[in-house]
Amino acid sequence: MAALSAMLAACVLQAASVQALPPELLLAIIQVEGGSAGAASVNRNRTEDLGVMQINTGAWLDLAARAHFAGDRAEAYRQLRDDTCYNVQVGAWILRRAIDEYPGDVWRGVGRYHSATPALNARYQRQVQAAWRRLFPR
């Protein structure tokens, strides 16, 4: 991962604290996702993955719009795509929710951040674990 900006570091630390997650885990996911501020990656199913944590529009755009932007999908889209801190906050919330689906199995929850499909979930777990080891060697 390129040098971590002070702003991204602050956003990650804040979101990790709010969601009771290790900041290292968020950074590993950010590396695996490969997103950036302003990024919008189109998926085969025509949804998009937005910003640093590649938040999926099909799964999360309507919820973000209702929760934070009085139902304004265009504004929610812009903020998820362009506002790194907002994106990380939402991504951390999604991750916490996914982990909570699997009490006692944090890694399965990490995989759920990406997919409920068992094979894709397991592959994502391995990718995040490998990123964590690269970023934070012992």
Residues facing 55 on adjacent strands: 50
In the sheet that 40-42 helps form, which strands lie side by side, from edge to edge? 40-42, 48-50, 55-56
Host H or E run for residue 117 = none
- Give pLDDT tens digits for 16-55: 999 999 999 999 999 999 999 999 999 999 999 999 999 9
- Give pLDDT tens digits for 63-114: 999 999 999 999 999 999 999 999 999 999 999 999 999 999 999 999 999 9
Instruction: Give this prediction's pTM.
Output: 0.94
The percentage of residues in the chain with a pLDDT greater than 70, rounded to a whole number, is 97
CB atoms within 10 A of CB 13: 13
